[in-house]
């Protein structure tokens, strides 16, 4: 599997195809935003969502629940951990970075708009959870879009576009979001992805990350998330930013000091995944009583430890157990 840094062109080496792809992404964002502005009442129609409920019948419900799981935090938490441990540390970390940063961005918009989810009989929504934009849609756009740019594979692009569309559709079919929430995910998610790609390209071309000292990067990985937790509303930022802080802190240290290899036999890779995921959820779930999310600083510390486990402690443990070698 070839994994490339983010550099222009993002979508195709053919200038005409690159221009066309960029125009299509921007067109989807603009059309989604225009539809929200011009047909706002229609985009929040309960009748549209109710009509889609017939697609939940029988096995289809389980299929759509499986599809929507591909946009859940739990799935992504395991997914990019496996990438970091077994595939490519850079791809795994930056996939996690765009997921967590775009999730923070999505939650901020939700806490500003405070729009309720569809009031459908038989559909239970998390308490204090708001609808606009659809976080699943927005993070599907950013995560799968980012990975497709890094992998530069036509097959993966097809997969990414299909998953983005299916996850978005599943949110309406399961009654969790209005049409407008999904459109909001595209309207806000695509610009976020394009800006992230532009910044990543600039960092790569100018080699800015390599110019910063390790102590400075470690300080930034702590200071920036802590500052954002203090200023952002809601209960999710301490968890999301705690995880991002721990993962960033660990990634910088592992990259400079530990330098374990992701390569290994199938048996060793499976052991890494099993041990790594069990300990990760032991930290996130098992320490919930000791470090509850209800107390901001304690929730931040718990998720910080989860992120630190993935990018630093787990690679050290794998190396000690003979599951990973040094690069």
Tens of pLDDT, residues 70-90: 888 788 888 999 999 999 998
Q: What is the pTM of this model?
A: 0.88
Q: What percentage of the chain reaches a pLDDT higher than 70?
A: 97
**pLDDT surpasses 80 at 121:** no
**Could you tell me which of 283, 282, 299 has the C-alpha nearest to residue 291?**
299
Q: Which two tokens stand for residue 181?
A: 């929430």
**Predicted local confidence at residue 168, as pLDDT:** 92
pLDDT of residue 207: 67
**pLDDT single digits (tens) 157-197:** 999 999 999 999 988 888 888 999 999 999 999 999 999 99
Work out the number of other CB atoms within 10 angstroms of the CB of residue 57.
8
pLDDT given at position 2: 66
pLDDT at site 13:
82
Q: Which sequence spans correspond to the domains of the chain?
A: 1-211, 213-322
pLDDT value at 303 more than 90: yes
What confidence tier does 1 reach under pLDDT thresholds 50, 70, 90?
low
Mean pLDDT of 128-157: 90
Residue 61 banded pLDDT, cuts 50, 70, 90:
confident
pLDDT at 209: 66
> What residues contact 27, with CB distance under 8 A and at least 6 apart?
none
In this predicted structure, the answer to whether residue 208 has a pLDDT above a threshold of 70 is no
> What is the per-residue pLDDT for 114?
87
| Closest alpha carbon to 283 in 267, 299, 270, 294 | 299
Specify the pLDDT at position 53.
77
Q: pLDDT class for 134, splitting at 50, 70, 90?
A: very high
Task: Find the range with the poorest average confidence among 48-52, 113-117, 142-146, 246-250.
Answer: 48-52
């Amino acid at each position: 599997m070839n994994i490339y840094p983010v550099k222009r062109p993002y979508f195709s080496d053919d200038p005409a195809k690159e221009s066309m792809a960029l125009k299509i992404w921007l067109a989807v964002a603009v059309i989604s935003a225009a539809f929200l502005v011009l047909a706002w009442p229609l985009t929040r129609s309960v009748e549209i969502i109710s009509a889609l409920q017939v697609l939940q019948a029988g096995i289809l419900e389980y299929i759509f629940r499986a599809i929507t799981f591909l946009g859940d935090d739990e799935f992504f938490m395991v997914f990019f951990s496996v990438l970091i441990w077994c595939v490519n540390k850079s791809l795994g970390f930056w996939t996690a970075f765009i997921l967590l940063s775009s999730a923070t961005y999505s939650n901020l918009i939700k806490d500003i708009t405070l729009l309720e989810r569809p009031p459908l009989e038989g559909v239970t929504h998390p308490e204090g959870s708001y609808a606009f934009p659809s976080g699943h849609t927005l993070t599907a756009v950013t995560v799968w879009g980012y990975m497709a740019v890094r992998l530069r594979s036509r097959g993966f692009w097809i997969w990414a576009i299909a998953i983005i569309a299916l996850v978005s559709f599943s949110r309406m079919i399961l009654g969790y979001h209005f049409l407008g929430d999904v459109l909001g995910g595209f309207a806000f998610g695509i610009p976020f992805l394009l800006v992230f790609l532009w910044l990543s390209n600039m960092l790569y071309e100018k080699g800015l990350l390599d110019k910063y000292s390790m102590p400075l990067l470690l300080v930034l990985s702590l200071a920036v998330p802590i500052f954002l937790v203090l200023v952002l509303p809601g209960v999710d930022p301490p968890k999301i930013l705690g995880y991002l802080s721990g993962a960033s802190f660990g990634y910088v240290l592992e990259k400079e000091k530990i330098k374990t290899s992701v390569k290994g036999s199938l048996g060793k890779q499976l052991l890494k995944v099993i041990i790594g995921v069990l300990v990760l959820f032991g930290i996130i779930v098992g320490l919930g009583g000791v470090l509850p999310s209800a107390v901001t600083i304690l929730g931040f510390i718990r998720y910080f430890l989860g992120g630190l486990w993935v990018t630093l402690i787990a690679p050290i443990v794998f190396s000690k157990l003979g599951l990973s070698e040094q690069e």
